Amino acid sequence: MKNQLIVFDTTLRDGEQSPGAAMTKDEKLRIARALERMRVDVIEAGFASASVGDFESVRAVAAAIKDSTVCTLARASENDVRRAGEAIKPAARGRIHTFIATSPIHMEKKLQMSPDRVVEAAVAAVKLARQFTDDVEFSAEDAVRSEFEFLCRIFDAVIKAGATTINVPDTVGYSIPSQWGERMRMLIEHVPSSDKVVWSTHCHNDLGMAVANSLAAVAAGARQVECTINGLGERAGNASLEEIVMAVRTRKDLFECETRIDATQIVPTSKLVSQITGYPVQPNKAVVGANAFAHESGIHQDGVLKHRETYEIMRAEDVGWSTNRLSLGKLSGRSAFRAKLQELGIPIQSEEALNTAFVRFKALADKKREIFDEDLQALMSDEAVTPEAEHYRLVASKVVSETGETPRAQITLAVGGSEKQAESDGSGPVDAIFRGIENIVSSGADLLLYSVNAITTGTDAQGEVTVRLSRDGRIVHGQGADTDIIVASAKAYLNALNKLHAGIERMNPQTETV
Ligand code: KIV
Ligand code: ZN
């Protein structure tokens, strides 16, 4: 495609660096398949050196994805690059993304390396990466606070060493659009052989300008944007994919490039990422927020009804807001169920797993006549939890809540295989059930966030509960869905406790030096 803007999605790597957003291998696979359906060009699947689990996840994504390039991050060290090379081996198209910090503050305080040694390490990492793949990206971490001459020097050196994409990150979200566009333009102008590589931008949102900065870089000649679904990412997040894609598409008059993205996949993918990571999407978020296409005021509604372009610059259906697509019903059989899961990109592990999921689907269809895609996604998230990851499981619960009376909960849990029971009062039914669980578990965790959303429309919809728990500085999210929101709450709480119990720590590639 002439003047293609490469969309590099890093939801599974930078997005995962958000507190409590760590994903399992199966969760990553589901999101990666959704990104592939969306026609994302490059999927950064994780940081392969973080742990054995992360390595396995990257490898599994590399093996499963055929239509997008699969990439993994590596610090500029021999060990990281070799691990990255191993992890992307099964990929139809694999990329190694190696990086090192280049700002005076990072080189001196974090790396404790001289500028000369930083250049040496970058060149060595790129040369080694080229032994595994022809597709090598180099990032100068904290480029925003790096000296221009030093950036030119290191980029020139890594291009000579074989880098094919040069990424310029605003790691700390410090820039403003005019400055960021100018930096990109100057780099492209001054770095020798700059026409031999793809220039990329990677912006964080600390001052709320990640998307604006990314677009300024694109206008200045960058032909790759690094972004995440829903703008997920460390601190205030990364530039959001949906906003960049729709800005470039809606303002064709301003941008001399186009993406390959199938925009109708944006909303379903946004919902999937939110559901898996436990990061809700704010209602007024551009493109994917529930209100993004809602018109409250009478004047606007009247205008839209007469002629939609009076107030709408994009069409809701073009970004996938056809919503609540009726999936299956009470009478749907096993083969329709299997076909629907395949269409949604949900992996079916075995015939036995399919049968168990089918029984749960039938039970849900008994409670709720119409089953939508969103219901199936939630159901299958529950199913994806392996018995090993489910140290605590809800067996039964009973909650009595009556006007003027103190709510009371009885709960039975399976804990490591044996059943335990407890009762508790609470200020409300959710408090009562959480206290009941704590009477058994005594986790010592603090509840930081509780939210409930209807997955679809209608009073018979499933409620999806998200909780955020913290213990000893560790933050985890838990989700649970059910037509009974007290049961959904208990499931979400237990899901978070199971993550705390599993104790998986993820190494942050940027704060841990080699
Ligand atoms: O923000 C950043 O600098 C990064 C790099 C590792 C690309 O995420
Ligand atoms: Zn980043």
C-alpha distance from residue 306 to each of 302, 303, 312, 313, 497 (Å) = 6, 5, 12, 15, 52
Confidence of residue 324 (pLDDT cuts 50, 70, 90): low
Ligand that comes closest to the CA of residue 227: 2
**CATH architecture type of domain 6-277:** Alpha-Beta Barrel (3.20)
- Give me the count of residues in the chain: 514
Is a pLDDT exceeding 60 seen at residue 1?
A: no
> Is residue 36 within 6 Å of ligand 1 at its C-beta?
no
**pLDDT score of 154:** 98
pLDDT classification of 310: cutoffs 50, 70, 90: confident
Give the span between the Cα atoms of 150 and 119, in whole angstroms: 9
Instruction: With cut-offs at 50, 70 and 90, classify the pLDDT of residue 308.
Output: confident
- Given the CA of residue 14, which atom of ligand 1 is nearest to it? 8
Does 2 score more than 60 pLDDT? no
Q: Ligand 1 center to residue 172 CA distance, Å?
A: 9
What is the average per-residue pLDDT within 276-280? 90
Which residues have C-beta within 8 Å of that of residue 345, sequence separation ≥ 6? 30, 33, 34, 36, 37
Average pLDDT, the chain: 93
**Residue matched to tokens 């390490």:** 121
Ligand 1 proximity of 146 Cβ (cutoff 6 Å): no
Q: Assess contact for 204 and 142: CB atoms under 8 A.
A: no
- Give mean pLDDT, residues 188-195: 97
pLDDT score of 300? 67
Identify the nearest ligand to the CA of 232 by its number. Answer: 2
Q: How confident is the model over 321-343, as a mean pLDDT?
A: 80
Distance CA 100, CA 97 (A): 10
Q: Which residue has the higher pLDDT, 173 or 475?
A: 173
Q: Which atom of ligand 1 is nearest to the CA of 143?
A: 3
Q: Which of 63-67, 216-220, 473-477 has the lowest mean pLDDT?
A: 473-477
Task: Give the span between the Cα atoms of 376 and 423, in whole angstroms.
Answer: 32
**CA-proximal residue: ligand 1, atom 2 (nearest):** 171
- For residue 372, the model assigns a pLDDT of 86
Q: Is 14 in the pocket of ligand 1 (CB under 6 A)?
A: yes
Please state the rounded mean pLDDT for residues 118-133. 98
CA distances from 100 to 49, 59, 123, 140 (A): 15, 23, 10, 6
- Residue 8, phi then psi, degrees to nearest 5: -110, 110
CB of 44 shorter than 6 A to ligand 1: no
| Least confidently predicted of 237-241, 310-314, 392-396 | 310-314
Plot region of 200 (φ>0 → left; ψ -120 to 50 → alpha; else → beta): beta
Q: What is the pLDDT of residue 125?
A: 98
* Predicted pLDDT at 434: 97
Task: Check residue 107 and give its pLDDT.
Answer: 97
Going from the C-alpha of 378 to that of each of 183, 271, 383, the distances in angstroms are 44, 10, 9
Q: Report the SS3 class of residue 396.
A: strand
d(CA 4, CA 375): 36
241 by DSSP, 3-state: which? helix
Whole-angstrom distance, CA of residue 225 vs CA of residue 165: 11
Query: What single letter denotes the amino acid at residue 52?
Result: V
Say yes or no to pLDDT of 256 above 90: yes
Instruction: State the Cα–Cα distance between residues 355 and 333, nearest whole angstrom.
Output: 11
Residues 6+ apart with CB under 8 A from 405: none
Q: Is the CB of 373 under 6 A from ligand 1?
A: no
- Percent of the chain topping pLDDT 90: 75
CA 341 / ligand 1 centre spacing (Å): 34
- Ligand 1 touching residue 139 (CB < 6 A): yes
pLDDT at 301 over 70: no
Lowest mean pLDDT among 78-92, 205-219, 304-318: 304-318
Order of strands, sheet of 392-400, starting from the edge strand that comes earlier in the sequence: 392-400, 408-415, 418-425
Tell which one of 145, 202, 224 to mutate to probe ligand 1, the residue whose CB is within 8 A of the most ligand atoms: 202
CA distance linking residue 214 with residue 144, whole number of Å: 13
pLDDT reported for residue 160: 98
| Ligand number, closest to the Cα atom of 238 | 2
Q: Is 392 in the pocket of ligand 1 (CB under 6 A)?
A: no
Give CA–CA dist 442/427, Å, rounded: 19
Asked if residue 80 has its Cβ within 6 Å of ligand 1, the reply is no
pTM: 0.89
CA 125 to chain centre: 27
Q: Residue range 113-117: average pLDDT?
A: 98
Model pLDDT, residue 325: 62
Exposure string over 111-137, b if 16+ CB within 10 A, otherwise e? bebebeebbebbbbbbbbbbebbebbb
374 pLDDT band, cuts 50/70/90, is confident
Residue nearest atom 8 of ligand 1, based on CA coordinates: 14
At 369, is the pLDDT very low, low, confident or very high (cuts 50, 70, 90)?
confident
Q: What share of the chain is helix, strand, coil (3-state, %, to 5)?
A: 45, 20, 35
Distance, C-alpha 498 to centroid of its chain = 20
Q: Residue 386 and residue 389: Cα distance in Å, rounded?
A: 5
The per-type count for the chain, helices as H runs and strands as E runs, is: 16, 16
Residue pair 226/198 in contact (Cβ under 8 Å)? The answer is: no
CB of 510 within 6 A of ligand 1: the answer is yes
Give CA–CA dist 289/302, Å, rounded. 22
d(CA 492, CA 476): 11
- What letter would DSSP give residue 106? I
Q: Which of 50, 114, 103 is nearest to 80 (CA)?
A: 50
What residue's CA is closest to ligand 1, atom 7? 139
pLDDT confidence of residue 380: 84
Please give the residue that has the higher pLDDT: either 432 or 388.
432
138 in ligand 1 pocket by Cβ < 6 Å?
A: no
Task: Report the separation in Å between the CA atom of 89 and the middle of ligand 1, taken as the mean of its atom positions.
Answer: 23
Return the best residue to mutate from 103, 107, 171, 174 for the ligand 1 pocket (most ligand atoms within 8 A of CB). 171
Taking the CA of residue 167 as reference, the ligand 1 atom at the shortest distance is 7
Average pLDDT estimate for 348-377: 87
For ligand 1, atom 1, name the residue with the nearest CA. Answer: 171
Which is higher by pLDDT, 453 or 386? Answer: 453
Atom number, ligand 1, closest to the C-alpha of residue 234: 1
pLDDT confidence bin for 455, thresholds 50/70/90:
confident
Ligand nearest to the CA of 239: 2
Burial 388-410 (b: 16+ CB within 10 A, else e): eebbbbbeebebeeeeeeebbbb
Minimal CA–CA distance to 328: which of 342, 315, 314?
A: 342
Pocket probe mutation, ligand 1, options 44, 72, 73, max atoms within 8 Å of Cβ = 73
Contacts of 317 (CB under 8 A, 6+ apart): 264
pLDDT at residue number 299: 64
Highest mean pLDDT among 75-79, 290-294, 341-345, 466-470: 75-79
Strands (E), 374-428: 392-400, 408-415, 418-425
Mean pLDDT in residue range 96-107? 98
- Three-class DSSP category at 47: strand
What's the rounded Cα separation, in Å, for the pair 340 and 482?
20
Question: Could you tell me the distance, in angstroms and rounded to a whole number, from the CA of residue 103 to the centre of ligand 2?
Answer: 15
Distances (CA, A) of 475 to 47, 48, 349, 467, 491: 19, 22, 29, 10, 17
Distance 290 CA to ligand 2 centre (A): 27
How far away, in angstroms, is 300 Cα from ligand 1 center?
A: 41
Above 80 in pLDDT, residue 288? yes
Rounded average pLDDT over 278-303: 82
Q: Is the CB of 169 under 6 A from ligand 1?
A: yes
Q: Which of ligand 1's atoms lies nearest the C-alpha of 139?
A: 7
| Tokens 């996949």 found at | 265
Which parts of 245-353 are beta strand (E)?
Answer: 326-329
